[in-house]
Amino acid sequence: MTTLVTGAGLIGTSFARHAIARGEHVVFFDPEPREDFIAFKLGKSGYTFLRKDVRDLPALVAAMQEHKVFSVVHTAGLIGGRVDQSLSAAFDINLGGTRNVAEAVRLTSVKRLVHISTFGVYDSRRPQDSLIDEDFPRGAGRGYGNFKGAKELILEAYAANYKFELIMLRPANVFGFGHFWSGSSGGMKMQALLESGLDNKPVRIAAADAVNNEYVYGADMGRAVDLAATVAMPPVNIFNIGSGRVTPFAEVVDAVRQIFPALQVEVEAGNSAKSKNTGLDLSRAKKHLGWEPAFTMRAALEDYLAELKAARALRKTP
């Protein structure tokens, strides 16, 4: 079988590791795939990459037909602050691209679409007294979260009308080697902390990033996507993916200092973003997907560091 993955970043490649191990072929659909990154993550075989954009509906349809695609994992789109930098461009890529993915799935009779949403869809302006479950209201007021919520609504309408299987995952802040290229300031923060420790240099963190947040490691996220793509269709189709708790920024720094005791961190002056104060309810993912996080923050950082070191060593190899 073949799965088409829109976007060739951390989440897509983390899923692809599982798919390729099963003997499945993966087709990455990305306008600027980083060939060295994909090869580092996956080796030299088991996948094809197409330099195509999700705004190109005929190219999506042609790729799904040519490769006899059975399922689609949709990760492509601008994320975080890059959405607010140009709402118009983000609308075309995120919403227009998602409409095209849904239309291509319909036209080619793909069986299942797995969509990567975000915990940013939840309306953080509302009171939160307990863990946030998947029925919590959507719409946080910012471009990224609102556009993700709109993407969910588009896909729900398509799936209901055209009867393909749809599973949507709402991850917490995903981190791991390779994520921040897409615009994740949280991913960039984790990279900066580890690189600072590795290079024995001070690190400056923006005040907006020195917040309490919920995280999920890329390897755990890849396993969640793999389960979403392969389990028998469950009776519910939206799942939180995270740690189930909010981690203070100081705790993240302490975890890095367990690896690099001399780490020096300076938080820049400026307006701080609003911290998360309530974690995600993961019970639905555990019950219906058989998923729960396997990595602690410390274990995730150590695994991340090993990949970072390996990538640096590879760059130095003649």
SS (H, E, C) the chain: CEEEEECCCHHHHHHHHHHHHCCCEEEEECCCCCHHHHHHHHCCCCEEEECCCCCCHHHHHHHHHHCCCCEEEECCCCCCHHHHHCHHHHHHHHHHHHHHHHHHHHHHCCCEEEEECCHHHECCCCCCCCCECCCCCECCCCHHHHHHHHHHHHHHHHHHHHCCEEEEEEECEEECCCCHHHCCHHHHHHHHHHHHHHHCCCEEECHHHCCCECEEEHHHHHHHHHHHHHCCCCCCCEEEECCCCCECHHHHHHHHHHHCCCCCEEECCCCCCCCCCCCECCHHHHHHCCCCCCCCHHHHHHHHHHHHHHHHHHHHCC
CATH superfamily of 2-176+214-242+276-295: NAD(P)-binding Rossmann-like Domain (3.40.50.720)
pLDDT tens per residue across span 86-139: 888 888 888 999 999 999 999 999 999 999 999 999 998 888 889 999 999 998
**Dihedral angle over CA of 154, 59, 34, 195, nearest 10:** -10
Kindly list the domain boundaries of the chain, sorted by start residue: 2-176+214-242+276-295, 180-210+247-274+308-316
Q: What is the pLDDT of residue 53?
A: 95
pLDDT tens per residue across span 23-35: 999 999 999 888 8
Q: What is the pLDDT of residue 256?
A: 97
Least Cα distance to 314 among 177, 218, 220 occurs for: 177
For residues 6 and 27, give the distance between their C-alpha atoms in angstroms, rounded to a whole number.
Answer: 8
Residues of the chain with pLDDT > 70, as a percent, come to: 97
Q: What is the pLDDT of residue 192?
A: 93
- Classify the C-alpha dihedral 198-204-210-214 as positive or negative: negative
**Dihedral angle over CA of 19, 20, 22, 25, nearest 10:** 80
Q: What is the pLDDT of residue 285?
A: 98
For residues 278 and 182, give the distance between their C-alpha atoms in angstroms, rounded to a whole number.
Answer: 26
Q: What is the pLDDT of residue 315?
A: 79
Q: What is the pLDDT of residue 91?
A: 84
| pTM of the predicted model as reported, rounded to 2 decimal places | 0.94
Least Cα distance to 295 among 206, 169, 176, 183 occurs for: 176
Which regions of the chain are under pLDDT 50? none
Q: What is the pLDDT of residue 179?
A: 62
